Structure 1
């Protein structure tokens, strides 16, 4: 037997496996049969785990029967909780729609040759190539051969359910001009250097975005700068065409694409970047870039105005890499006018319900040793940190130069600190602008959505990472061995189409993984069934009695119960997924004295730090394939200002750098392979969106 659809990981339709050339000409038309990935194995039971400051009711996952009742009722409940926008795209309805929601995996942060930095790193992968890669087709990466094409073939280990190409809006027109022989700026020296992937020109383009306002290149754009926005219209149209071509509008709903781009403000080398994602094919004529909007506030207003004027347009902005921002990406709203602050907080909360916390450039969940909430050191917070200790603490302030590994580090550069700042903002503004859910993605600059495998990792940034020596190099900047393969977005949605996925993103019923396809379900409430892990209709009852990840508890008091069910990534025949070590609940709250606090509770499984074999990477720890618990918070109830989110840890496995080192002859291995300060094993993970109390609500 398999778990009910609401708890079943990886449930989706089969993707079209035609060759890339065919996929680039037409979108999938056939309605393929259905397959299921990673159904929960029967008979697997979790182990009772070590507990910190808590009492838990934990039991292993038991076989769960497919339910047939309550669906009509639950559909009505779901509709009341998550009423979607009225606009519905013209398409066949998905044949499979589950009001209790299925789990889909994707990547919402992907760059191709349309992005200036990727292009200058020798990448020639197009948006069409990127979507074909997500479906299982190969791409060809640098170094380039005599024909100018990549020579390294790469395929994803398993197709994705959805993806978005999010090329940088800045320089979209410049790159188009530099590769169009009929364009007036094509023969400029700068364009010749772009086509040659000149390293100094790479730096020159990047530095242009560190100034406020940024300046265009007149030799490419003309003296008035108008040629580049005009050229960007053609590139933007092709971005939309690629997304449309690969969006499966048939009833099979096998693959979903989103139209999107990245806004890439980098003032003083502090990262303020956001990925902009549209709900439908109705989008503005041009993306809003840093040239048009030189602050986040300007971006929000532009998106609100431009999308609001189009029937059927809806949009989200998703900040990423707060670990690069020196505290600037989530700086508190402070105009000096309380009314203006509240209005801006409301706009931000509506447009930015998410943050990308894991990707190629590090993990941004948490970091030990920073000021702020009272909390104990968390050993799992050392995972994939881009900057080593010691670091300067920004305190309540901000800094600069984070994108090159300099300046101070802020507690607001990490998910926990952002969420805690949101609790403080809720008390002062009456609204929480930082009630953000968590997602992961790759930030691939190779056009390779979902290329997250630690084995066979070839980098994500063209010629900057096209050899093992480059990938294993120590550099002053946060790159080389400090990078990682990135993560994925996991979405609980009724169907695999734009509307349902987008609405799930907006309501934050999503989570981040560091790459593995770990399935995690979370509900919270004050009247959940204590034996939910044993019930065949658990999801129906939990959905009726509680709220899912990303939600807000009703106003009132009472002990908070949290249901968590986690299932290990099944992996592939060649690379089976690792087992789970433990499930943890992370709680942030404001106590009766007004002190911010963070606590971590082990609620299922047990900590196991037995490393894999260093010579073969054979996993040593045992772990569980599935864990389930209904945990009761021992001291914070629904009347507090608080949030809870779940972290699921796998057993230790080899980091990508260890696999790469082992692939080299011992005499050719660089110093990083034997450096004791370089982690050679990791614990992959999933981090969910929180559930908030009413007092902490967005």
Structure 2
């Protein structure tokens, strides 16, 4: 019987995938072309984009996407191939589990608007095992482990992941040193490359970009702390196999392997690494120490800055911006999509699981910079979905069906009631300010951190700093050109003040998500600046300042209908000066753009099901979460910019490898 997931590829088809992937690599080695502007240098053969904007424009995408080759996705019934994931990102309808007896999907998804770019990021650790257990022709298919995979998929989910993430080992059917599973992994890895090539628009239309990449899936033993990272390659020139946690069981070992197999070799291989879900890392993702503990060294800090220019602030498993507890922290917006645990394994957490949040990590970074002369946590910001359905960009609150993975599985049947656990959400989008929609231009934006993340909406957000922005810059038609010529954009480093008493000024501009004709976007409520600094005692401080819009605009939402009420802003712009600036103190600044209130995905489904918490008879199976104490019916969607950093004049900021490259 033919396998419904399609893993049992005929040998000739396997060879064809290898041939196509090899052809891509050879092609990409043949030519380096300069674009019409010096701003973009191509590292692979392609036509220059017809649309090129020197002032850059925002491109929306998703670089955290799992398909049928990820163990946690496949054991939940996901059959989406890498190619189908890219087709979905470009606008095609996608069938998802559960499947009927004829192999037809019982549910489907489709984006209202296609994405500009995407990357399939299947877990590197078990793609060989997943293929082996679905391919009768491969030795190991009949092993007891693969029988567990096929007949007891939830048991396999825990068993296989335990071996890979807790024991850093392949399973017994993989043979000595895991050679059988390493060999089996070559086909899915080649298929991922071939799918990325097939859907990358190399024409001058530049409608859609893809990246080759994967997820390195690590866990801190004992605490259940998440240490996962996504690895993104600049072009089609990539290592022979993805470097996994089994092969390189430590972040610094991953960076070293990428140096050896990619960045330090001949050719144009380049890569960056994006940590995610630091909110579930039990404090270990950014501990301020070496991987194995002990004081951080300058070399470690510099290597981290070189490979990890970005951090993922939002995805399916919660937001990682900042922690909120009533009476302890004053920034109530930090409560947005906050998880109840501090680790991915679900172990009991301290009463205040406030470790690993990005704002805290940025503060730790400037502390370490003061000691080491290099900042290991100089992160730009992006977001993504972490979908385990192969559905990149599926972030609409009103269409949320769950993302799988750690959420509610739907392998056998459509879950009754709410389709996912109450604490999970549709995830966010990565946004890159680039001259054009090509891999090289987008990758350069990530490398220089001119990037931001949203919780789903396509909000446009700009953030610049300077010593000389005029107060009326928002009224200038060429304000962005001026901002680039006299300042630095998000992700940049503001050099020491030119005159005594000068203070940094910031240009903040945002536009609401335009939405579609049938589904308009939500108005904006306000723009905020978040400042963190190192005071005269060496202690980190923070402050949140409203700089545009109005938090008391009266906008609200009717929880019985989810109808929104009140006015907001289609656009906001402000020039803000830090009048409390102290030129002797290190600081970072980022912007947060906040929409008017709207119904969360869970409340929308509670309303559609006509749940009335005062009438128990209306609470159908699976809808008890609508009336739970921890249910959050209202959200305020948002966008977070990458920070801009300031340090007192001196060599430390300029000495890191990242900033030398800039």
**Smaller-chain TM-score range?**
0.7 to 0.9
Q: Which residue in the other structure is 1:111 paired with?
A: 66
| Structure-2 separation of matches of 1:126 and 1:201 | 21
Give the Cα separation in 2 of the matches to 1:404 and 1:183: 35
TM-score (structure 2 length as normaliser):
0.86
Number of aligned residue pairs: give it. 599
Tell me whether 1:594 sits opposite 2:538 in the alignment. Answer: yes
Between the aligned partners of 1:203 and 1:411, the Cα distance in structure 2 is 27
Which residues of 2 match residues 13-412 of structure 1 at below 5 A? Answer: 88-196=43-151, 198-211=153-166, 213-219=167-173, 221-268=174-221, 269-307=224-262, 308-334=264-290, 341-369=297-325, 377-387=330-340, 401-408=343-350, 411-412=354-355
Determine the C-alpha separation between the residues in 2 that align with 1:332 and 1:245.
Answer: 41
Deviation at 1:98?
1.2
Structure 1 residue aligned with 2:486: 545
After superposition, what is the alpha-carbon deviation per residue over 1:10-56, rounded to whole angstroms, capped at 9, x for unaligned?
Answer: xxxxxxxxxxxxxxxx99xxxxxxxxxxxxxxxxxxxxxxxxxxxxx
Q: Which moved more, 1:606-615 or 1:450-459?
A: 606-615
Give the Cα separation in 1 of the matches to 2:181 and 2:377: 35
Structure 1 residues 139 and 680, CA gap change in structure 2 (3 angstroms): same
Gap change, CA 1:644 and 1:617, over 3 Å in 2: same
What secondary structure, in the 3-state scheme, does the structure 2 residue paired with 1:234 have?
Answer: helix
Tell me the residue number matched to 2:9: none
1:634 aligned to 574, 579, 594, which one?
A: 579
What's the secondary structure of 2:211's corresponding residue? strand
Helix, strand or coil: the match of 1:432?
A: coil
Give the SS at the match of 1:105: strand
After superposing the two structures, state which structure 1 stretch, 329-338 or 606-615, moved more: 329-338
Distance in 2 (CA, whole Å) between partners of 1:317 and 1:134 is 22
Higher relative contact order (CA 8 A, sep 6+): 1
Aligned counterparts of 1:412 and 1:180: Cα–Cα separation in 2: 42
| Rounded Cα–Cα distance in structure 2 between residues aligned with 1:527 and 1:240 | 47
CA distance in 2, matches of 1:161, 1:644: 28
Q: Is the CA contact (8 Å cut-off) linking 1:458 and 1:465 kept in structure 2?
A: no
> Could you tell me the TM-score, scaled by structure 1's length?
0.82
3-state SS in 1 of match to 2:493: coil
Aligned to 1:430: 373
Tell me how far apart the structure 2 counterparts of residues 120 and 471 of structure 1 sit (CA, whole Å).
22
CA distance in structure 2 between the aligned counterparts of 1:340 and 1:672, rounded to whole angstroms: 44
1:536 aligns with 2:497: no
Work out the CA distance in 2 between the residues paired with 1:656 and 1:237.
Answer: 37
SS at match of 2:50: coil
From 597, 613, 620, the equivalent of 2:565 is: 620
Give CA-to-partner distance per residue, 1:365-424, whole Å, 9 cap, x none.
0013599xxx95101011001117xx8xxxxxxxxx543153346654111001000011
CA distance in 2, matches of 1:293, 1:407: 28
The whole-number CA distance in structure 2 between the counterparts of 1:154 and 1:192 is: 31
The change in CA–CA distance for 1:370 and 1:247 in structure 2 (over 3 A counts) is farther
Partner of 2:427: 486
1:637–1:532 CA distance, 2 compared to 1 (3 A) = farther
SS at match of 1:209: helix
Distance 1:468 1:583, change over 3 A: farther
Distance (whole Å) between structure 2 residues aligned to residue 650 and residue 459 of structure 1:
23
* Secondary structure of residue in 2 paired with 1:482: coil
Give the conservation status (yes or no) of the 8 Å contact 2:98–2:414: no
- Asked if structure 2 preserves the Cα contact closer than 8 Å seen for 1:104 and 1:496, the reply is yes
- Give the Cα–Cα distance (whole angstroms) in 1 for the partners of residues 324 and 632 of structure 2: 17
**Contact in 2 for aligned 1:533/1:628 (Cα 8 Å):** yes
1:105-161, CA deviations, whole angstroms, 9 ceiling, x for partnerless residues?
000100000101100011000100100000000111111111334321110111000
Instruction: Identify the range of structure 1 (553-562 vs 337-346) with the bigger mean alpha-carbon deviation.
Output: 337-346
Ranges in structure 2 where 5+ consecutive residues have no aligned partner: 1-19, 22-35, 612-617, 657-662
CA contact (8 A) 2:289 2:295 kept: no
**Two-structure CA RMSD over aligned residues (Å):** 2.5
Return the offset for 1:310. 3.9
Q: 2:163 and 2:253 mapped to 1: Cα distance?
A: 19
Q: Contact conserved, 2:163 with 2:171, CA < 8 A, in 1? A: no
Cα 1:660–1:642 change in 2 (3 A) is: same
In structure 2, C-alpha distance between the alignment counterparts of 1:336 and 1:615, rounded to whole Å: 52
Question: How many Å separate the matches in 2 of 1:335 and 1:360?
Answer: 26
- 2:14 matched residue in structure 1: none
SS in 2 for 1:604: strand
TM-aligned CA distance change 1:338 to 1:386, over 3 Å: closer
SS in 2 for 1:559: coil
1:224 Cα deviation from its structure 2 partner: 4.5
Mapped to 1, the partners of 2:316 and 2:585 lie a distance apart of: 36
Offset, 1:188: 2.1
